[in-house]
Amino acid sequence: WGGLGHITTAYIASNFVSNSTEAYLKQLLRSNESDYMAKVASWADSIRYTKWGRFTSTFHFIDAHDNPPESCNVDFERDCKETGCVITALANYTEQSLDPGLPAWRRAQAAKFVIHFVGDLHQPLHNEDVSRGGNGIHVKWDGRDYNLHHVWDSSIAEKLIGRGKPYLVAQKWSAALTEKITGGAYADEKETWLADLDFGDFEATAMAWSRECNSLVCGYVFPEGPKAIVGQELSGEYYERAAPILEKQVARAGYRMAAWLDRIVDEYK
């Protein structure tokens, strides 16, 4: 996701974590503000192009070598790069965040990666190989040229919620999604969102969330296949179908992030 998506998932998570998780993370991340998670949510993107952070560059996605729109699927052995993918990254940094042998700054860093990668794992094109997750596919948005990956990372969300200062806009969106989760459109299904959460198997949990997200690629990202979308204007009908899907993925990411962080803190303390 772009900044808006990541900040929003983190705000949602901060609305659902337990009091002890909030206290632990505020101490670990050295912040007493309500944006203690939101403000670290995009950190992983800020270091991926640095010399130090280069080893993390493939940690943000898994390139599913499937065949949309006929067939969507993810296979860990086939699709996770040797340099790592979002599945191994989430598993490894979850493990590090639980490791009492690591100094606090390393557990803080691990928590920042966990917060970011739970977010990215819920972006459909971060679970798809075609043209490097859509980065190589030219499309139109309000008449201008963008790549499809950027449309799903940022354009759809910005149109849905409006432009403005990222933290203010994200705050507004997260409040609306939190309300949908607690008492609105998602209230009845939210418990099913945690059905695949198995804290005994980090990779299996990440793969289940990845498969669910990848399946959206066939129906909503490439409904008529990757070739048919090239050059198309996506801010109209395509947006109308995609926006509710994207919104649910952001809500799921935030809700699952809270549950995952609760498990980490429960086990660590």
Catalytic residues: 1, 6, 45, 48, 60, 116, 120, 126, 149, 153
Residue nearest to ligand DCM (CB): 133
CB of 256 to Zn ion, least distance (A): 16
User: Using CB under 6 A, which of 6, 107, 149, 252 touches ligand DCM?
Assistant: 149
User: Using CB under 5 A, which of 153, 158, 212, 262 touches Zn ion?
Assistant: 153
Q: Which is nearer to Zn ion, 154 or 215 (CB)?
A: 154
User: Using CB under 6 A, which of 6, 107, 122, 126 touches ligand DCM?
Assistant: 126
3-state secondary structure the chain: CCHHHHHHHHHHHHHHCCHHHHHHHHHHCCCCCCCCCHHHCCHHHHHCCCCHHHHHCCCCCCCCCCECCCECCCCHHHHCCCCCCHHHHHHHHHHHHCCCCCCHHHHHHHHHHHHHHHHHCCCHHHHCCHHHHHCCCEEEECCEEEEHHHHHHHHHHHHHHCCCCHHHHHHHHHHHHHHHHHHCCCCCCHHHHHCCCCCCCHHHHHHHHHHHHHHHHHHHHCCCCHHHHCCCECCCHHHHHHHHHHHHHHHHHHHHHHHHHHHHHHHHC
Q: Among 88-96, 103-111, 149-157, 252-260, which window interacts with Zn ion (CB under 5 A)? A: 149-157
Size of the site for ligand DCM (CB under 6 A): 16
Q: Which is nearer to Zn ion, 44 or 181 (CB)?
A: 44
Q: Which of residues 60-79 bind Zn ion (CB under 5 A)?
A: 60
Residue nearest to Zn ion (CB): 60
Q: Which is nearer to ligand DCM, 63 or 262 (CB)?
A: 63
If one asks whether residue 74 binds ligand DCM (CB under 6 A), the answer comes out as no
Q: Which is nearer to ligand DCM, 68 or 133 (CB)?
A: 133
Binding site for ligand DCM (CB under 6 A): 55, 60-61, 63, 84, 88, 92, 95-96, 125-126, 132-133, 135, 149, 153
